Amino acid sequence: MDFLFLALLTVFALSLKSMLQWYQRRKKIWDGIEKFGGEKWYPIVGTCLDVITAPRNKFYEIYAARNNKHGPIFRTWMGSIPAVHIMKAEHLEPVLNSTSNLRKGDFYTFIEPWLAEGLISSSNIKKWHHHRRLITPTFHFSILDNMGDVMSEKAQLLAELLEKKADGQYFDIYPFLTHCELDIICETAMGVEVNAMKDSNSEYVRAVYGILDIMLYRMFHPYLHPDFIFKLSSRGRQQKKYLSILHGFTRKVIQERKEKLTSGENVMQELSEEDKLLGKKKRLAFLDLLLQANEKSENRLADEELREEVDTFMFAGHDTSTVTVSWTLLTLSNHPEYQEKVHQELDEIFQGEDRPITPQDVLKMQFLDKVIKESQRVIPVVPTIARQLDHDVKIGEHVIPAGVMLVMHLSCLHKDPEHYPDPERFDPDRFLPENIAKRHPYSFIPFSAGPRNCLGQKFAMRNTKILLAAILRKYKVRSEKKISEMKYNLEIVLRPQGGLKVALELRNK
């Protein structure tokens, strides 16, 4: 009896100690962030009451209003997740430059069911370092040149498909761009064709869009944050079905490519006789390059780790490029004088020839490069990024305690009047070298910055330029709405509500 009493007393004491330590950590966080102020806090939902009770199409308006009301620094509670929001270049720099606060924000946990510990979502920093070192060489310029062939082919097909829409009538171009990007990403990532431009109802394509919708819904509804509740919900069951499709597809491709590599069979994509006559080259996909690098590594990635990185490439690649192309078409439609300058640049490069776009052509698209960057500044592709603090960090005069998620608003950063006078004005000359040199180095970071910056940013920019060039060398573009009239859906990327309605006109009739 005495032994049982002592055991129960020990368990109680340890539990009490654990609870006290938890309380002290939470009190430190509470005291550390409450001084910044923000929306009213409520039990369970934190400061998310207005989001939970609002329709999805109002999310971006709510967050933009919060930033305007409480910025440049304030706190929120996403349920039980404490967050501090920042939007000044000098505030972001010490966070993004840190080598000790490398974990992504807590809301990235909602994409882990799909991507697990891939480069974007990994919270295991040792594992992240190893994967990053292994993957970095696969984005070498010479390899990007090889992938550029796929981009050019798919962009050319897109331009041809759009011809039936070039009647001066407004239509939604967004699905065309999305399906083109999925075709590009599937072929460059895995070396397989899903033909989304011709078959947008494929099971894999539907699963990609479906799981993204579910992850976003869960993120903004704190009562679905606990796994055991989410798995019992209808969305949790649907996510399980989507994951089976997505993971099954990638695992099957990995197994097939590994078997070819092991048997010594050439894993390079086989070309048709027609392609050979046209002088096209065989090419390796990201997965093939990763498998080859993995074979040479002392610490090899397991099949599931390979799957995580291929799925991460898929996730990160198609959405961001689609949105970047969309917003650039919108800004050029709103500024025909700059669209004309892009047309002139493309005419000088191609001299009227209807030929594939080469890496050398992309290097010459210097004005288009400035237009894309100014479009990324005016309309953010990824409006927010986040870090989970493992150590206290000093921002200005404030110390933000460990355990807090720091949410960095690129949408506000890129419109800071201190760095961009008259920030709503569209002006590609902001990205002339002499003007860039005058600004804070962290005042424009569409691909993040520091150790966890986007590894695929050169891939993304090349992809964006090729798609835009394929469209704009052939068409004039008009948008149905002005930039100021656009409504947005706040997701991981910023999507257009109701699509992007444009009218196309053939330049050379």
What does the DSSP assignment read for 73-86? EEEEEETTEEEEEE
Reading the block at residue 16, the tokens are 């009490």
What pLDDT sits at residue 275?
47
Do the beta carbons of residue 81 and residue 285 sit within 8 Å? no
- Judge whether 22 lies within some domain: no
Residue bearing tokens 């002339």? 432
The total domain count for the chain is 1
**Distance separating alpha carbons of residues 189 and 450, to the nearest angstrom:** 25
- Judge whether 92 lies within some domain: yes
- Judge whether 9 lies within some domain: no
304 by DSSP, 3-state: which?
A: helix
406 by DSSP, 3-state: which?
A: strand
What pLDDT sits at residue 413?
97
User: Going by DSSP bridges, is the β-strand pair 405-409/501-506 parallel, antiparallel, or unpaired?
Assistant: unpaired
What pLDDT sits at residue 487?
93
Quick one: CA dihedral 394, 399, 400, 403, positive or negative?
Answer: positive
- Judge whether 230 lies within some domain: yes
What pLDDT sits at residue 277?
37
- Judge whether 24 lies within some domain: no
What pLDDT sits at residue 274?
43
198 Cβ neighbours under 8 A, 6+ residues apart? none
What pLDDT sits at residue 265?
57
User: With left for phi above 0 and alpha for psi between -120 and 50, is residue 192 left, alpha or beta?
Assistant: beta
pLDDT averaged per 10 residues, the chain (length 509): 69 71 73 88 85 84 92 90 94 92 82 87 86 84 83 94 93 93 89 80 81 83 88 95 93 87 60 44 78 85 89 84 95 97 96 91 97 96 92 90 93 96 96 96 94 90 96 96 92 88 90
For 202-335, where are the alpha helices, taking DSSP H only? Answer: 203-219, 227-232, 234-263, 273-277, 286-296, 303-334
Domain that holds residue 86: 32-506
φ, ψ dihedrals at 102, nearest 5°: -105, -10
CATH number of the domain encompassing residue 235: 1.10.630.10
- Judge whether 14 lies within some domain: no
472 by DSSP, 3-state: which?
A: helix
- Judge whether 198 lies within some domain: yes
Query: From residue 434, how far is each of 272, 365, 415 by CA, in Å?
Result: 48, 18, 19
- Judge whether 15 lies within some domain: no
